[in-house]
Amino acid sequence: MKLDRIALGIFRSLHTEKQSGKEIAKSLSVSENTVRSRINSMIDEGVLKIIGLVDPYKLPGHQIAFVCIKLKPSDVFAASESLSKLKGVVSVNIVTGRFDLILEVLLSEDFGFLDFVKSAEDNLEKIISAETFIVWKTYNKMVPYIL
């Protein structure tokens, strides 16, 4: 995937506000066909995914938690993949530092933190320790609604 001015312009246009292909093409001084073709190519290559996102703090009873996990010596990739399939998990990040993974979890009144922990039971034998951070307020945070 080549990150040229057109690709970056499409990313910025899609990120900042809803725009038609025609509007994006005009702002980049290219044809609408070029924009459509580039978007389709980026989707096919897995570089771009167009989805609806929500601000969890504008939805009553919803919040985000970050769960930081230290794993037993094992396959971090297999553990990450397993955890990524749990209900509420927005993302799993393999990181450096004192933790091995940081999970971003969407919670609601109907699916609270204890529900998440119960859903993770099959993975507990892989975990040495975990620390959870409940987010009280966030800025510029949009997530897919996965509950």
Average pLDDT of 41-48? Answer: 90
Q: Which CATH architecture has domain 56-134?
A: 2-Layer Sandwich (3.30)
| 5-44 placed in CATH 3.10.450 | no
* Predicted TM-score (pTM) of this structure: 0.78
Residue 2 pLDDT greater than 80, yes or no? no
In the chain, which segments carry CATH 1.10.10?
Answer: 5-44
Tokens of 86: 């749990």
Structure confidence by residue, pLDDT tens digits, 64-105 = 999 999 998 878 999 999 999 999 999 999 999 999 999 999
Q: What percent of the chain has pLDDT over 70?
A: 99
In the chain, which segments carry CATH 3.30.70.920?
Answer: 56-134
Taking the CB of residue 83, how many other CB atoms lie within 10 A of it? Answer: 22
Average pLDDT of 18-32? Answer: 87
Mean of pLDDT over the chain: 90
Whose tokens are 């025609």? That residue is 22
